[in-house]
Amino acid sequence: MLLLFIEPILARFGLGDPEWLDPATAAVIALIAFVVAALFHKVVFPLVIRLTNWTPTDLDSRMVKSARWPITIGIIILGVYLALTIALDLTVAQQGRVDTVARALVIVLGIVVVVALLSSASDWYLANLATRSRHVVDLRLFPLLRRVGGVVIYGIGALLVLDVLDINISPLIAGLGLGGLAVALAIQPTLANLFAGTYVMTEGVISTGDYIELEAGVAGYVVEVGWRSTRIRTWGNNLVVVPNARFAETIITNYQQPVAAVNVYLTCGVSYDSDLDLVEKVSREEMDYLIQNDNDAVASYGSWFAFNAFGESNVEFWLFLQARDRIASFNIQSSLIKNLHRRFKEEGIVINYPVRTLQFPDGWSPQIAAGQASASAGNRPPSTPGRTRAPRDFNPEPEPEPELKGPDIGGDPPGVPDGP
């Protein structure tokens, strides 16, 4: 259609040679495409970016910038395609090949645009929202999702390009399925740790720097939560590496969640002769002193005191207050013990050792009881059935059986002595 208008004009000036007209027209169309692409890249896109600066977020600016080069290249590809299909007289086979290459390039360009937009959105989230929602998604999750998503999108794009080029991709898809199954079975422990690590990081209950204790007794500070394992630094300054598959299934005590403050619970006991009202007064005074003068204590939480049991040696009671973190709880507990010990000593309040008092009837004493026990042991017969037992290696001779007295039949008459 374009040639129908151009040829009469060129023929009027003696330039109606069709041998160079088609290539020249193709070159003009391609040149126009390059100019339009340059205008979009240098003029239109900067204006659009300036308009996006007025929006509340910079997400749209990032996406426009990521799509700048792919759209510029797309305009050039469109111009070249028009130059080939409009200006040149192509055969049906040539037109088919041009269409196939154009579709493949469009697919590649679309894949690049999608990956660029995904990368821009991930960067925007990490830069703006990750610090606000640290307990929802860990900062290392989105980079991994970006890489995995890019690989998946590029793989799908490659399959689409092969399909457009009339290459049978069914055997390839079947091979990828079987190969993926074999790889998944081979790296099953690694995948289990990977998914468990994803759960640990997205759950948000464990963070770097938290002091935790596992069900197995391992306790320490979390150094790093990785994709395969979690590293814990113990009190002995040793590094314990726990696979995430086991870490996700064990019972964990986090001493810094839901807040860093730790409750200090101290038990003690005083003698039964103590004035319990004085004990309570002294204990409350010492707790109030720590709350008001020690920065490790949480003043807003207050303090609590109560007697809770009659023990074997003492009247037992407990004291309860809160420290700002775990390390501070050790200092609070130590200070409270020292202050209570000093005040109890000043007030004459006794903390008994474990003792037991024996009550005897009137007229009895430990000495009298011991003397009676010795006397009864001396008068006791040597063998009393059911009360004493001879040693195993002691075999006393059997006692002689008592002589039986009965009627004398056929014996010597009475009064006759036995024997010669």
% of the chain at pLDDT higher than 90: 18
3-state secondary structure the chain: CHHHHHHHHHHHCCCCCHHHHHHHHHHHHHHHHHHHHHHHHHHHHHHHHHHHCCCCCCHHHHHHHHCHHHHHHHHHHHHHHHHHHHHCCCCHHHHHHHHHHHHHHHHHHHHHHHHHHHHHHHHHHHHHCCCCCCCCCCCCHHHHHHHHHHHHHHHHHHHHHHHHCCCCCHHHHHHHHHHHHHHHHHCHHHHHHHHHHHHHHHHCCCCCCCEEEECCCCEEEEEEECCCEEEEECCCCCEEEEEHHHHCCCCEEECCCCCCCEEEEEEEEECCCCCHHHHHHHHHHHHHHHHHHCCCECCCCCEEEEEEEECCCCEEEEEEEEECCHHHHHHHHHHHHHHHHHHHHHHCCCCCCCCCCCCCCCCCCHHHHHHHHHHHHHHCCCCCCCCCCCCCCCCCCCCCCCCCCCCCCCCCCCCCCCCC
The domain ranges of the chain are 2-188, 204-254, 262-347
Mean pLDDT computed over 82-96: 80
Residue 346 has pLDDT above 80, yes or no: yes
Residue 250: the pLDDT is 84
Q: Give the chain's mean pLDDT.
A: 78
Residue 420: the pLDDT is 37
387-399: pLDDT as tens digits? 444 444 445 455 5
Per the model's pLDDT, the better-predicted residue between 240 and 136 turns out to be 240
Residue 289: the pLDDT is 93
Residue 13 has pLDDT above 60, yes or no: no
pLDDT band at 163 (very low <50, low <70, confident <90, very high): confident
199-212: pLDDT as tens digits? 777 677 788 888 88
Which pTM was predicted? Answer: 0.50
42-77: pLDDT as tens digits? 888 888 888 888 888 788 888 888 888 888 888 888
Residue 4 has pLDDT above 70, yes or no: no
Least confident of 230-234, 265-269, 272-276, 372-376: 372-376
Residue 306: the pLDDT is 95
Least confident of 45-54, 167-176, 303-312: 167-176
Residue 339: the pLDDT is 94
Highest mean pLDDT among 202-211, 274-283, 322-331: 274-283
Residue 120 has pLDDT above 70, yes or no: yes
What fold, for 204-254? SH3 type barrels. (2.30.30)
Mean pLDDT computed over 268-295: 93
101-114: pLDDT as tens digits? 888 899 999 898 88
Domain 262-347 has CATH 3.40.50.11540: no
